[in-house]
Amino acid sequence: MLQGKKILLGVSGSIAAYKAAILVRLLVKEGAQVKVLMTPAACDFITPLTLSTLSKNDVGVTISENGSWSNHVMLGRWADVMLIAPASVNTIAKMANGICDNLLLAVYLSATCPVLFAPAMDEDMWLHPATKANVARLLSYGHRQLPVHKGELASGLFGEGRMAEPEAIVSYLYSFFSAGNQTKPLAGKKALVSAGPTQEPIDPVRFISNHSSGKMGIALAEALAEAGAAVELVLGPTHLSTLHTGVRISRVVTAADMFDRCSELAPSADIIVMAAAVADYRPRNVADKKIKKKDEEMSLELEKTTDIARSLGAQKKNGQVLVGFSLETNNEKEYALKKLQDKNLDMVVLNSLNDAGAGFNHDTNKVTLLSRNGHEQALPLQSKQEVARNIVLAIIDLQHA
């Protein structure tokens, strides 16, 4: 979707400027043509040489570079989209009020393409009425704001103001450029995806969980949306998210929460992908106060949680496609095929923790797709986004089988 797209990236003075290097690398890898503009303040955080090397283009900082006073006009007409990321509180204020005191702002005021901006600042700045008014003005111009994230900020505080992660921005650009494409294979379909871990409380401060980050499930939700589906993502506790406009998120915590939400959404879904790492057991009794450390040993009595995939498989309607995941450490294929049959799945995605670069928290994955019709497809080690797209292609084949 980004192959050949001309993307003009504006980088302003924020600690989040370091993420511009990752963003440029991802965009170039997707086949986009990237030109970078920097404010003088941004050069204090990351060098133009770094971004020039990654983008394979000169980086613009001053209006008079290369002896041209009109480079801002040419750049403003070159791009398919202008993206300011990070957009500092100062740059947002200048954009909103038409101030033109550096090359980035001169190009912004000359741009004939759509403009997107990804704010990055401390929470107090983000919540200030002046910033809210400036953002509202930019939105009134028809620009699009990428949502800010909540997390640890440069000040050391925790709150809103973090710039969207580069992977999420790339996903947003996918949805931006794909809007209006009516030839998508899953147009008109509804998809349900579960992702991430669950947390099963022991007491008010402790819980049982696992190492799932949610990356694979989020990538699947985005790939389904790219293919045209309207996606409901039921997401366990993770700091990750998605900006894809075709994905709606329901945040849950426990296995029971995830079961309830998936059960609510499943009847209307054409495609169901259970990618979450749901706890198999939970504490039978949850303490209402913090358990104090006193004895040498402590025993927890556990009870089974509801198997969500099995429950949905038992209620599967004609025409629904149900996909499950099987993360194994031994007898991988045997266990995966057993899940395929026992849970009434149409396809199971086999993940082995014995494969380097696969499994929890990696940006890559190596899987084998096992279908009810006997088809087996082993995918090589790929980025989770590429794995997700291959899984979606297999789902499309199942729909037409």
Which residues are part of a known binding site for CTP?
A: 280, 290, 325, 339, 343
Give me the helix-helix angle, 89-97 and 103-110, nearest 10°.
40
Catalytic-role residue among 57, 210, 344, 390: 210
Q: By C-alpha distance, which of 131, 306, 156 is closest to 148? A: 131
3-state secondary structure of 160: strand
Active-site annotation holds for 361 = no
φ/ψ bin of 344: left (φ > 0), alpha (ψ from -120 to 50), beta (otherwise): left
Q: Which residue has the tokens 């057991």?
A: 281
CB 38 within 8 A of CB 61: yes
Q: What are the C-alpha distances in Å from 242 to residues 146, 172, 261?
A: 10, 8, 19
DSSP 198-241: --EESSSS-EE-----SHHHHHHHHHHHHTT-EEEEEE-S-S--
3-state secondary structure of 154: coil
**Neighbouring residues of 170: CB distance < 8 A, sequence distance ≥ 6:** 2, 23, 26, 27, 30
Please report, as a single letter, which amino acid is at residue 230. A
Question: In angstroms, rounded to a whole number, what is the distance separating the alpha carbons of residues 159 and 101?
Answer: 31
Catalytic residue IDs: 210
